[in-house]
Amino acid sequence: MNLPGLQEMLRQAQQLQQRLGQLKSDLAQRTVSTSTGGGMVEVTADGTGRIVRIEIEPEILVASDREMLQDLLVAGVNSAREAAQRMAREAIQEIAGGLPIAGMDNLLGSF
């Protein structure tokens, strides 16, 4: 490979790295929400997979079924984190222009 070609590849790699850094900041501002138990529990995660809110309908607290609530919370958190991963993956693919990127799931940190 000639020197100008290598320099162009390095320039493109640096641009991609900058765009990924910006994307990480953008994803931290975006959220996805999922619900479980027919809407009894709603969990919201940001684009980095961090859980930012959990809402629980009062009826489930009155029922005082602790085990069911725990199961709904686990399911809701897992679902929200999976949705956040999908959102991040789609955003990375958009930046990469559809090119496959090795280790794409690790570009923004682990979930």
Give the residue carrying structure tokens 């991963």.
Answer: 85
Taking residues 96-108, report their average pLDDT: 62
What per-residue confidence (pLDDT) applies to 62?
79
Which residue ranges make up each domain of the chain?
3-98
* 0.85 surpassed by pTM: no
Cβ–Cβ < 8 Å for 38, 98 = no
- Main-chain phi, psi angles of 105, to 5 degrees: -65, -20
- According to CATH, the topology of domain 3-98 is Ybab; Chain: A; (3.30.1310)
For residue range 57-79, what is the model confidence (pLDDT) as tens digits?
988 887 667 888 899 999 999 99
Examine the pLDDT at 104 and tell me if it is beyond 70: no
Examine the pLDDT at 3 and tell me if it is beyond 90: no
Q: What tokens appear for 25 in the block?
A: 């900041």
